[in-house]
Amino acid sequence: MMDFENQQIITELLPRMETVEYEPLKKNFLWMSLTQNAIFLVVLFAIGMIFTLTMFLSTFFMSFLKMIGIWLVLVIGLVLLTWFGFRVKGYAVRDRDITYKTGLIFRSVISVPFNRVQHCEIRKGPFEELFDIAKLKVYTAGGAASDLSIPGLDPARAESLKEFILKKTEEEDEEE
């Protein structure tokens, strides 16, 4: 039963993570992120306006231009980050583990084997509801930092993924 523990592992023969194809998130996640950014930017704009109107009334026009300038830089930066950040995000499901990669500037790839999954859940906030997407959270015993969460899944896909993972986890438990 435990024979394989003594087998020599030739690293070339290991299942390679690099060869997997990452599945992208649902496009609606991008629209949702952009909407959230837009709301944030509008609020920021309003605060900036109030600030400019009250503090720099004497030099209103110049201050207004400066503010608009800073604001536009923020808008472009955030949109670019969100747009390209979305294209980097992706997940891959293999027979025995799940991997999620994210981060445009600071990259991160995290892999969780199914036989270490504690439980998983689907989350839907008001925004997710609006854009018809769901977030899948996979919990391990390694603490919050080691948990894996995939945003922007199609709700049906999230549900089937969750069931797949739970089925895998149960199978592993039975084998043990």
Stretch that binds other proteins, among 2-10, 29-37, 69-77, 79-87 (CB under 8 A): 2-10
- Interface with other proteins includes 113 (CB under 8 A)? yes
- Interface with other proteins includes 141 (CB under 8 A)? yes
DSSP per-residue string spanning 72-97: HHHHHHHHHHHHHHHHH-EEEE-SSE
- Interface with other proteins includes 10 (CB under 8 A)? no
Least distance to other proteins from the beta carbon of 61, Å? 34
Residues within window 142-161 making contact with other proteins, judged by CB under 8 A: 142-143, 145-146, 148
Which of 47, 72, 109, 130 contacts other proteins by CB under 8 A? 109
- Interface with other proteins includes 58 (CB under 8 A)? no
State CA 172 to chain mean position distance: 27
- Interface with other proteins includes 108 (CB under 8 A)? yes
Residue 172 CA to residue 112 CA, distance in Å, equals 14
Q: Is 58 helix (H, G, I), strand (E, B) or coil?
A: coil
Whether 118 contacts 141, CB under 8 Å: yes
- Interface with other proteins includes 80 (CB under 8 A)? no
Token reading at 155? 């709700």
Least distance to other proteins from the beta carbon of 148, Å? 7
Which of 25, 30, 32, 112 contacts other proteins by CB under 8 A? 112
Count of CB atoms situated within 10 Å of the CB of 154: 16
Q: What is the dihedral of CA 64, 68, 74, 79, to 10 degrees?
A: 150
Q: Which is nearer to other proteins, 59 or 111 (CB)?
A: 111
Distances (CA, A) of 170 to 4, 135, 163: 22, 22, 10
Interacting residues toward other proteins by CB under 8 A: 1-2, 4-6, 9, 11, 14-18, 96-97, 103, 105-116, 118, 140-143, 145-146, 148, 175-176
